[in-house]
Structure 1
Amino acid sequence: MNPTDSRTPAKPVRTRLRLLTVLAAVTALAAGFATTASAVNTTAGAKGGPGKGNTAKVCGTAKAHQVRCFAELRTDVRGGKGVRGAAAAAAGKGPAAAALPQGLGPADLHAAYKLPTTGGANQTVAIVDAGDDPTAEADLAVYRSTYGLPPCTTANGCFKKVNERGAATPLPQDMGWGVEIALDLDMVSAACPQCKILLVEGDQPTMDDLGASVNTAVALGATEVSNSYGGTEGGDVLSGAAYYTHPGVAIVASSGDYGYGVPSAPAVYPSVVSVGGTSLTKAAGTARGWTESAWIGAGSGCSAWIDKPAWQHDANCPGRMVADVAADADPQTGPAVYGTTDGLTGWGVVGGTSASSPFLAGVIGLAGNPQKFPNASAFYTNHSALFDVTSGNNITGIECGGDYQCNGVAGYDGPTGWGTPNGIGGF
């Protein structure tokens, strides 16, 4: 598919920039999907959080035709047991403030995004990842008990872990995505404590394995599916689109952690809600109590292969533009996560758009209307119930000419889409 055949760009300069960006990425990454999953890599080339030296990408350098997860682990925040203050626990009052780990917790995120404390009991949020996390359920129990959330276990029917074919055994080998899986589970829990959680583990970090896992999640009754991974779009990008098309189920995906440039699949598919990222900071004395700006790493870009959906109307991109909505993704303002596999030995702080995607899937679950999201069009017709993010940018190398594609501006912009949750009215 040649995107220049049937489109008349609104602004030729923008189109030339877009095509030059695509050519640069293809030259650098070769054809198709590039990147792979591996254990946490702390070499210079794997540093996360652009401009910061205290983060590492959980999934490092890659093989061709594979995808990578987008979790970014703070390397300066490690360890610590997950416990509540004994007195608070005994009194049934939830966690004692002094006992809480570093990083944002569920109460912080609910306060920042004005979310209700109940909802989603009839929803099942699936997360799709590559490889097995053998401690996933045990680690999730620590996270939830630390923050006073209700148990979510296999025994009580809240939690279920399966392979990409939907069976409990055999599970795949560990692919180094343990931190990613812990982040996904914790973010769904933070957004929607009453939602059920389904973890589907793909055999390999390929679009076919993970796409098959999405199909399995839907077949098993998932109402929302989060995908915190991706690969730079290439000429074969359309071959994976069918995996992520499930009307009636909200399919959500991270926009990526590369800043402005070539968009990532599956986030670029028109049937997917593409989730960008922000930096979220407490701000006493303001009406909201928080400030939010576009995160420097949040992925955004204009597709060279996928046509613009009828419901998307931004001026300077003739193709599908990423992202649609956003939530906190900056590792410097990231959530607390508990894990004991593949790089975590207890509590840590983890970010990346791998945090924002499962959180948004949980918000959709909390609202309980997944049928509204066969795509992201609902946000384009009604975005009044979102916080508009109007500052920050995601310029990590390629400029977008100062416009919305890489800058937080009033209304729609690439790094944060239409904005972040302001309650569940927009969901």
Structure 2
Amino acid sequence: MRTPPSDRTNRTAPRGRWHRVGSAAAATIALLFAGFGTAAHANAAASPTSPNVTWTRACAVPGKADEMACKALRVTGGLTAFQKARAEKDGIAPKAANAATPSGYGPGDLQSAYGLTSAAASNGSGETIAIVDAYNDPNAEADLATYRSYYGLPACTTANGCFKKVSQTGSSTSLPSSNTGWAEEISLDLDMASAICPNCNILLVEARSATMANLGTAVNEAVALGAKYVSNSYGGSESSADSSYDSSYFKHPGVAITVSAGDSGYGAEYPAASQYVTAVGGTALSRSSTSRGWTETVWKTSSTEGTGSGCSAYDTKPSWQTDTGCSKRTISDVAAVADPATGVSVYDSYGITAGWYTFGGTSASSPIIAGVYALAGTPSSGSYPAKFPYNAAGTSALNDVTSGNNGSCTTTYLCTAQSGYDGPTGWGTPEGVTAFTG
């Protein structure tokens, strides 16, 4: 796999915090910041990794109790950590949105950060990752082709059998209505699955709407079509119906189902609270001078924005989860990058100006972990892959995240990172695929 320009730049950028750049670059950056005063989310002052980054949510807050919202966060202004390093090295200040070239982490960066470079090159052939989202993205295949071509990943198209898009009923012709916000989510999910497992096939299953019933039906369809790895980058409020949703939509032994933990800070969401899924929290990912070359903290931007975690009010605690702070299911199990200030590159063209964007949110971390499961190989029949990281708990197969928090809580580990298990990041982030095998 060739090394694209953005990955080369990021790998050679100086590590650690951003130092002072030359006067010309500084002037350019100052002008860039000046144009971002009215972004949809004024989170600038709270981001520890990149204090001038602003972003907007791709999907609206659900209007009904049974509706889900996607968890994609699109950067609209400021400089991400990636761009800061690039500005220092090259003396330029790349755009944060609609750029001609990527402005976030690419496949090489993510594979390096999570010890997956070797596995991504050789594993995944014949495996299918399913992406479940609501509504239709008419440009999904074309946008995916642009992303994969830029990064030198193998083509994944309908024609060569790698890519397939269907509705929740399995139809490839009768698709849902299109939706611009969910199309951004779809682009993010497809690109992250590609970044982690370039040799995997991708199945996109589009639900008729964002209700749990329709999204759950789409999950069932993904499994029926043979996917052993199913990513779900959406969530909503818990309800007393969740136990029935569990048995109807998420109880699929032998299938790794990943779900975003949420983007609203401390607090439980469904379906991340399902006992049958791997709940995926979010981190801020930055380069460092450590032997790993990377460092991570809990993603938190403000008291209301950061990775989700906490105790389910309704869902049964799985037998392999033994922490004592929650009598029912505890969120999360594992984590991956989600902070928009250390976001990932995505190509999208539907409903917004076609180009490269930087995205964050636990929408990024869920398909990343689904891709890691796919690299690890087909789960054994009858197993629940959510258990696998618990088997490797405390080993070098996971990067233990020990700093940061996502809010306030009475039981400290549920909202604050610590050695070993904690709510915001679970047992940690991947270091290779060992923790994700049966």
TM-score normalised by the chain length of structure 2: 0.80
Could you tell me which residue of structure 2 aligns to residue 232 of structure 1?
Answer: 237
Q: What 5-or-longer segments of structure 2 have no aligned partner?
A: 1-36, 48-52, 78-95, 301-305
Could you tell me which residue of structure 2 aligns to residue 171 of structure 1?
Answer: 175
2:46 pairs with one of 51, 56, 79: 51
2:261 pairs with one of 230, 233, 255: 255
User: Are the structure 2 counterparts of residues 286 and 51 from structure 1 closer, same or farther at C-alpha, using a change threshold of 3 Å?
Assistant: same
Identical columns (%)? 52
User: Are the structure 2 counterparts of residues 274 and 344 from structure 1 closer, same or farther at C-alpha, using a change threshold of 3 Å?
Assistant: farther
Could you tell me which residue of structure 2 aligns to residue 80 of structure 1?
Answer: 99
User: Are the structure 2 counterparts of residues 146 and 270 from structure 1 closer, same or farther at C-alpha, using a change threshold of 3 Å?
Assistant: same
1:126 equivalent in alignment to 2:130 = yes
Deviations 1:148-182 (A, max 9, x none): 10000000000000011001011111133111000
* One-letter amino acid of the counterpart of residue 166, structure 1: G
User: Are the structure 2 counterparts of residues 106 and 303 from structure 1 closer, same or farther at C-alpha, using a change threshold of 3 Å?
Assistant: same
Query: CA–CA distance in 2 between the matches of 1:200 and 1:47?
Result: 33
* One-letter amino acid of the counterpart of residue 350, structure 1: F
Q: Is the 8 A contact 2:41 2:54 kept in 1?
A: no
1:418 pairs with one of 409, 423, 427: 427
1:348 pairs with one of 351, 357, 365: 357
Report matched runs for 1:19-418 at 5 Å.
51=46, 54-64=54-64, 65-76=66-77, 77-81=96-100, 100-115=101-116, 116=118, 117-175=121-179, 176-241=181-246, 242-261=248-267, 263-283=268-288, 285-296=289-300, 297-343=306-352, 345-371=354-380, 374-383=384-393, 384=395, 385-395=397-407, 399-401=408-410, 403-418=412-427
Q: Is the 8 A contact 1:48 1:57 kept in 2?
A: no
Kindly report the root-mean-square deviation, in angstroms, between the aligned alpha carbons of the 2 structures.
Answer: 1.9
Count of residues in correspondence between the two structures: 363
Deviations 1:250-300 (A, max 9, x none): 111101101112x111111111011001000011x3201111111111110
Deviations 1:204-223 (A, max 9, x none): 00011110000110111111
Q: Is the 8 A contact 2:414 2:423 kept in 1?
A: yes
* One-letter amino acid of the counterpart of residue 198, structure 1: L
> What's the CA shift for 1:50?
9.5
* One-letter amino acid of the counterpart of residue 56, structure 1: T
Query: CA–CA distance in 2 between the matches of 1:214 and 1:299?
Result: 22
TM-score normalised by the chain length of structure 1: 0.82
Q: Is the 8 A contact 1:69 1:180 kept in 2?
A: yes
Q: Is the 8 A contact 2:325 2:411 kept in 1?
A: no
Query: CA–CA distance in 1 between the matches of 2:38 and 2:133?
Result: 24
Give 4+ residue runs of structure 1 displaced > 4 Å after superposition.
42-50
Deviations 1:298-345 (A, max 9, x none): 110101111222211112111100000000011110110001013452
Partner-residue secondary structure (3-state), 2:297: strand
